[in-house]
Structure 1
Amino acid sequence: MTDTSQQSRQALGGQLRDIRKDAGLTARALSHAHGWPPSKVSKLEHGNQTPSEADIRAWCTSCGADEQVPDLVAALRNLQAAYVETRRMRLPHRQRQSITWESETTLMRWYEPFLVPGLLQTPAYAEAVLGRALDFFHNSRRDLEAVLAARMERQQVLYRGAHRFNFVIAEQVLHTTVGNDDIMIGQLDRLLIAMSLPRVALGVIPSEAEFIVPISNFCMFDRTRVLVETVSAELTITQPRELVLYEKNFKALAEQAVRGDAARCLIRTALDSRSAT
């Protein structure tokens, strides 16, 4: 288990310990009430054992804290499945998982500080991004063709069903060189085309915008999960109180973004600078 997963398990155990103490129950009394081995409560509270969902529900019922079950269960599920190594996430099966999540989502909200969101990438831009990632994590581009094909397949969701997409990007995205000028010209032109799609809203945060909220790339799937990419892993966040924070974060970023003609002006300026070289 990764250090981050261990820390998450310890944090979950700390929440359980606080709930028990707030209820005035001893560890012995709680163990006895459920027929657990005497050491189980201690192991759970110190993060040395992962609780089951049944454990959490029984714990909260005994402590009169049933209202905390949803958050705790979400934290447990996040612990069990959310932290996945990037080298696994980059493989085609991860892209296919994204296809499933995106097809089930009514409203997708996506913020990117440096790169064009995957659903809006041209094949050449996506190939350059994915190729760099495979080089970094695998020292091999063996899976590039399959990963690229899966990413391009994901983009069909832009044209099907009743999905809606709200993309917010930093102006830096327009100037981060991926591949070469030809690739960037094609990609910037693609952004202008994407802005005309009926289900797509695209905003650009000007480079001089004030810093007002913590910033990292993230993608929200309705109000059910958030994906955040780190250097070594991809986090899937499902805990309700954390989802609220990301929703608040996206709202603040979206309010800083310019849209319509103002956004097109920023894109065209970046496009013209590439075309002039």
Structure 2
Amino acid sequence: MSDSASSSVRQARRDLAARLGEIRREAGLTGRELAGRCGWHPSKSSRIENARTVPSPEDVLAWCRACGASDRSQDLVASLRVVEGMFVEWRRKERDGLKRVQEAVLPLFERTRRFRAYSSWLVPGLLQTRAYTESVLRAVQQRRVAVDDVEAAVEARMERQRVLREGDRRFAFLVEESVLRSSLGGPDVLRGQLDHLLTVGTRPNVSLGVVPMSPDRLRMPVEGFWIYDTAQVNVELVSGYLTISQPSEITLYEQAFSELATQAVHGPEAWALIAAAAAALG
């Protein structure tokens, strides 16, 4: 993010307040009239509209109902949830160790049926070998986590990969070609990981695309993200973990994924790039 996380959250609150204000003005209501319809003290409407108070979902529903704009309430409630939980700093998310972080996302993985993941940094977690995962999580632990539970965290991530084999789930993965040529664990770890990609990428429920390095690509690499069905997007940033649930923003990530997918190669062309990366290791 261009601003700090806290600045982004403040801006999101202001944006939500501005949208509520627009709805009130479009309805031709004053703040006092809106408060009367909602059964509030007039100062509450003012505090909400000036982003001094974060409204509850019930407040948003009442606001839209009072303005005759109930059809816009669900998107606004989704915006509110983004504001409430849009960003969690790594130091807060990982303060009890890495195992809990790995386990926390398991319910989301279990209820999702369609996964779309794009990575410009690393092989996506569901496709990682044990050695690759250990290298990644060890680097994270040494950089920012006081608790050393890497071994348990690796086990949790490996156990989570069962979603690839269970149920009727579908998976579409996109990785930048540069991901195939760099690793934290050294040549042997990367070689094993590339071999694994050639195997797991042929599963009938898995689509694996590689975006080739090119001087004339139409869309440049972006931050890595996961799309879970059409319900949620998660983005891993340098400073923290971003959760997006607003439908209009999810659509933007779906569009980005589609655009990147059109630049990617699949099947034999993707296998050739993976094989070339492996051959470059010697």
How many residues get paired?
Answer: 274
| 1:263 equivalent in alignment to 2:270 | yes
**Distance across 2 between alignment mates of 1:109 and 1:88:** 26
Find the partner of 2:64 among 57, 60, 63.
60
**Aligned twin of 1:225:** 232
TM-score, length-scaled by structure 1: 0.94
Aligned-CA RMSD value: 1.6
**Distance across 2 between alignment mates of 1:197 and 1:158:** 9
| 1:5 equivalent in alignment to 2:9 | yes
**Aligned twin of 1:104:** 111
Preserved contact between residue 111 and residue 168 of structure 1 (Cα < 8 Å)? yes
| 1:25 equivalent in alignment to 2:32 | no
Preserved contact between residue 9 and residue 86 of structure 2 (Cα < 8 Å)? no
Per-residue deviation, 1:122: 0.8
Give unmatched runs, 5+ long, in structure 1: none
| 1:251 equivalent in alignment to 2:255 | no
- Identical counterparts, % of pairs: 42
| 1:179 equivalent in alignment to 2:188 | no
Which stretch of the first structure deviates more once superposed, 114-123 or 76-85? 76-85
**Aligned twin of 1:193:** 199
Per-residue deviation, 1:141: 5.4
**Distance across 2 between alignment mates of 1:43 and 1:137:** 38
**Partner SS for 2:241:** strand
Matches within 5 A, 1:106-145: 106-138=113-145, 140=146, 142-145=148-151
Assess, with a 3 A threshold, how the Cα gap between structure 1 residues 141 and 124 changes in structure 2: closer, same or farther. farther
Which stretch of the first structure deviates more once superposed, 256-265 or 205-214? 205-214
TM-score, length-scaled by structure 2: 0.92
**Partner SS for 1:39:** helix
Per-residue deviation, 1:31: 1.4
Per-residue deviation, 1:88: 4.0
**Distance across 1 between alignment mates of 2:147 and 2:182:** 22
**Distance across 2 between alignment mates of 1:17 and 1:4:** 20
Cα deviation, 1:27-47, whole Å, max 9, x if unaligned, reads 111112222122111111121
Give unmatched runs, 5+ long, in structure 2: none
Which stretch of the first structure deviates more once superposed, 264-273 or 174-183? 174-183
**Aligned twin of 2:88:** 84
